[in-house]
Amino acid sequence: MQTLIFTGPAGTAALAAGATAATAAARGSRTLLASVGPSHALASLTGIPPGPEPRPVAAHLDAWCLDPLADLSGIWAALRGPSSQGPPIAPDELPIIPGSDLFLAVARLRQLAQGYDLVCVDAGPPDTLLRAMAVPDTFRWALRLLLGLDRGPGKSSASVARAVIPTGLIPFPMEWTGNLQDARVRLEQLRDETLDPARTRVRYVLRADSAALAEARLALPALQLFGLVVEDVVAGPLLDPDLTRVGLGDLLAEQRAVLEQAATIWPGRRLLGLPATATPAGADALAALGARLYGDQPLTPETSPVQPIRLSGPPTPGAAIDLPGLPREALGLTLSGDELIVRAGPYRRHLLLPEGLRGTSAIKATRQGDTLLVQSRS
């Protein structure tokens, strides 16, 4: 199963995802078109309302608008464990950490989308997707601060000793805190499994104007910073060049300039043009749009990707992070315990350093082209 995540302006990302899914189905691939919300633009394109299960749209094509909070009760029950001890909090009382709803939806989608050749996901704007990918890091940071990390990635007896709440003073059973630690580890595993480049790629949907290009120069490398492989850029909706004759020359000139700059900034990525059109209704109209978008080009990747984050341990510990197109002034680095905090403009990730770089400040960072290299000074 191959998963393509489309992220970009609301509505346009859904259009690109729908056109790709309908085209794949028309070519004979068993395809699932999914929306992980919170607003489901795909519902208006397919006529399929949100529901608990995928529903057929056309031959070889199903659509599914997920409810990201549907499994929250089960997750909370598993976190508390079989014992009823611990905080008496019902699932409906839980505050929603920004991005956690989308993270749960994407993880659930991976588990329940078996049996399809291709899954096309409308993930909405990149801000929302990036917040979702940061959920495991946020949980790890909070748990390290409060209780320390006693297992899994980042395990450190020093963090337990420095914890704000000593283990002996916790008013809940040790089983409950152990469930918290296990949940943190599982969240990180879920993200790694979901973002495995062998199965999951991202197509960034770029609005063809200068403001959107500046935003993309921050958002696209930030997606790579979280381990997502951005393989293609879909620019659109693109106006017909013949519209120059009806007074749209300036707009078309900006459109051409943005496409030229995008091709220069991300030369290793395919640049696809999504034509401007009335909102397509139904699978046939979406497939017709997809045929214009892809032509004779393949819909799915044909080559193995380069991992956007490459970590190595002793004897030569280091980290290499690909940040394509990120302006140098938008990059910031902060060392915090065993974590390197990498900033890409307004986006930030707490990246757990590999063994050999933890517990020391003797670290140097350099940038070679679009790749950030982090190494020991020794």
Angstrom distance (rounded) from CA 315 to CA 301 = 34
pLDDT on residue 228: 93
For each of the domains in the chain, give its residue range(s) and CATH number, in order of start.
2-133+195-294 (3.40.50.300), 135-193 (no CATH), 309-376 (2.60.40.790)
Tens digits of pLDDT across the chain (378 residues)? 889 999 999 889 999 999 999 999 999 999 999 888 666 777 778 877 777 788 899 999 999 887 666 655 555 555 455 554 555 556 566 556 666 666 667 666 777 778 899 999 998 899 988 988 888 888 888 888 888 898 888 888 888 888 887 766 665 566 777 878 888 888 888 888 878 888 889 999 999 999 999 999 999 999 999 999 999 999 999 988 876 666 778 889 999 999 999 999 999 899 999 999 888 888 999 999 999 999 999 998 777 888 999 999 989 999 999 999 999 999 999 998 889 999 999 999 999 999 899 888 889 999 999 999 999 987
Answer whether 283's CB lies under 8 Å from 58's CB: yes
Position 10: which residue type? A
Calculate the alpha carbon distances from 307 to 85, 111, 139, 320, 352 in Å: 43, 23, 24, 9, 16
Answer whether 191's CB lies under 8 Å from 160's CB: no
pLDDT on residue 145: 87
CB within 8 Å of 338: residues ≥ 6 apart: 154, 156, 159, 352, 353, 358, 359
Position 5: which residue type? I
Answer whether 321's CB lies under 8 Å from 307's CB: no
